[in-house]
Structure 1
Amino acid sequence: MGNFVARAEVDVRAPRRIVWNLLTSNGSHPEIMFGAEIESEWRLGSRIVWRGEWEGRTFEDHGRVLELDDREEPWRLVLTHFSPLTGQPDVPENYHGLHFELDETPEGTHVTLDQDNNPTREAAQHSQDNWAAMLAGVKAVAERQAAGANRP
């Protein structure tokens, strides 16, 4: 397909473990992935499914967990991702790779998300905008959880 990479980044004022657990857990949050319900066994090779509704249309995106490492720096999560809403055939060459890196910072966690296999700069920009919105949701939920964990 394409060689254009969409990159989204966010600084989260929450411990890296909270961000990691949020990215690697089942369930849904209205702020993340358009409120999609996420389901996976969270093991190498396991299937991951995102189910939800976007602009009045139901969707079921899917992929696989390719890397899941919270032992070495930076912590990495690598998934494949395919959305039938693209209208493209469900074949491997139409899948995107999602590469998450979580770096510990003095203020919390810096999250970088790269999505590969975008056919054009415009497609990469569209994906970047979507992933930036998703990471803004991760930031909101993680910071809320961190604030709750610090209350007596």
Structure 2
Amino acid sequence: MMNNNTVTRKLILNASPHEIWLILTTPSETKKYMFNCEVSSNWEIGSEITWKGNFQGYESGERGIILDIIHNKYLKYSSIDPNFGIEIIPENYLHISYHLDPQEEQTVLTTTIENFNGDPNRLEHIAKGWDHFVLPGIEQLCDQ
């Protein structure tokens, strides 16, 4: 699902919510699928979340705030990369969420990225990265 301001994807994964949570929140795991970036946070509402790493010569400095969190179930955070060339103002921060829903032996992971300010180029750029790199990487880690 994609409109001018939201990209939503669902994955059915062969892993428990706890296993997927570890993939989403452990620096050594995020580095494997999030463009070589390690996540850092204390995982509490209002705390900072950062992504640091170098991918094909691009130095990421993505940062944001944890907006909502229920461990092993739901995570929502704001995010902006100051190196991306976009003005650092609240309305330019993306809002990214992960919802983990156990289904028998599997887990449905729903990812939502919101707040593109109607910018179709930004939407397309980020959606493509998630569709071709991030989400397949998460799937691969769950199938190991």
Q: Given the two structures, how large is their TM-score scaled by the length of structure 2?
A: 0.85
2:35 match: 34
How many residues are matched? Answer: 140
Distance 1:79 1:56, change over 3 A: same
- What is the identity, as a one-letter code, of the residue corresponding to 1:93? E
1:55 match: 56
- Describe the superposition over 1:88-134 as per-residue Cα deviations: whole angstroms up to 9, x where unpaired: 12121110000111111234111111111112344323322222321
Q: 1:98 aligns with which of 93, 96, 99?
A: 96
Contact 2:24-2:30 at 8 Å conserved across structures: no
- Describe the superposition over 1:33-66 as per-residue Cα deviations: whole angstroms up to 9, x where unpaired: 1120111111111101101112312111001111
1:149 match: none
Q: How does 1:116-131 map to 2 (within 5 A)?
A: 116-118=114-116, 119-131=118-130
- Describe the superposition over 1:68-96 as per-residue Cα deviations: whole angstroms up to 9, x where unpaired: 1147xxx2110101012320121211100
Contact 1:5-1:114 at 8 Å conserved across structures: yes
Q: How does 1:76-87 map to 2 (within 5 A)?
A: 76-87=74-85
Residue 27 of structure 1 aligns to a residue whose secondary structure is: helix
Within 1, Cα distance between the matches of 2:51 and 2:69?
A: 18
- What is the identity, as a one-letter code, of the residue corresponding to 1:37? E
Work out which structure has the larger RCO, using CA pairs closer than 8 Å and 6 or more positions apart in sequence.
Answer: 1
Larger mean CA deviation between 95-104 and 7-16 belongs to 7-16
Q: Which runs of 4+ in 1 moved over 2 A?
A: 24-31, 119-126
Is 2:56 aligned against 1:89? no
Percent of pairs identical after alignment? 25
Say what the alpha-carbon RMSD is for the aligned residues.
2.1
Any gaps of 5 or more consecutive residues in structure 2? none
| Greater C-alpha Rg | 1
- What is the identity, as a one-letter code, of the residue corresponding to 1:117? N
Q: Given the two structures, how large is their TM-score scaled by the length of structure 1?
A: 0.81
How far the C-alpha of 1:3 sits from its partner, in A, is: 5.0
- What is the identity, as a one-letter code, of the residue corresponding to 1:38? V
